[in-house]
Structure 1
């Protein structure tokens, strides 16, 4: 009985945490959308009284100064990629890559910065405490490229592999060049046409990116000689990718939890 009660409490806590995370993401998305439409107004609305902005050049601005700078031009386009959200109590830290195009007096200025934003969130009340932009490092860039490539794959929009992979790229165990990439995706999508790869964690070290992922798919086609079972499975997937100086992937190592996959498909017990 004691174990059952603990299990129920843990389950309820997980539900509450999931709901809290979902609510936070909705609040952040709303604030970002408003910022995209009118940066100065969004900073004025969400910025705390002691809001601080440190730009990529190292200059520190208070709230009034930041609003004044944001009012000096027109934000024509902005994207927040490789977004990572961490919550500690009522404090939320968001990191990622900010790519923006500003029109300042007819002059177009393009920015690409790594950002760290800190918010205080209580219920539906959100306060923007601080923002810091810094130059994008190769590690930041590589993580953003990998996440963009993964999202494009999940949407089946990877039509130009050259955007993400070098011509000499090698998929370990399959081959080299564009044909190897095609073969890698063909093998997986033939067996699991609805395959989705969810990135759980990215770690950058030198020119390498390690991704811990979770793959979900329905076995609707032949996969390594196994006829379709119609069963849906979820397995762990790990991949290591090496990038060149241009930010393109040159080597990939992939590992799936095949034992769990076979058990979920009913091939083995």
Structure 2
């Protein structure tokens, strides 16, 4: 279902449709009541849901690097800024296991790869904002940082992200700062970072292998971990280690008794009667 193209402004966040289960939530019901227990599987994405402003704002002010839960669940995320070299393998691996993911795309990537944006959305995964040109935010003025976020939001929507859009933002290079998080929050986004990066993006030239990427993911497994991978090879490289490693990572998640959850489904669940699961700051 398509949603209105609403460009985020500096004004207070209002209740609006961001896309497939994009409403954010500070405290969620127990995960066992959210998603069926299935090996490396998750529930089918829900219909578009209005953002709950209170739940969204509960995530502001933090670099959210994990889901605070005692349940054996993990979230899988991908960044895309350079190219789409590994996308086919990634989407196929996720589809075979019915595992959801959130893809953080730069606006420049979305402008160059509109069909990729549409493929990810059509596959039922969430789309997040990864800035427009992937700069170091510390090198920009406050106005420049806001332009990066707004331009990426516009590019993703114009590329056809539609109902897959979420109010999630991930800083380039994982470089966060309290002031920068506040600026992003002021534009209506929650900062969603990661527990561990597989480092597959470094490629073989950077000393990485598929085995090492898998090992980094397995070593990071703990309740609520958010794994970060990359869609393509970094500039000047052709190897796509994360795409090659993903089937083994998903199998390892299953073998270790974990399941993959959809961050959107978690964050849009009804508020519970008692505290349960929340996004947490810090690794």
Give the TM-score normalised by structure 1: 0.21
- The higher radius of gyration belongs to 1
Relative to its length, the structure with more strand (as a share) is: 1
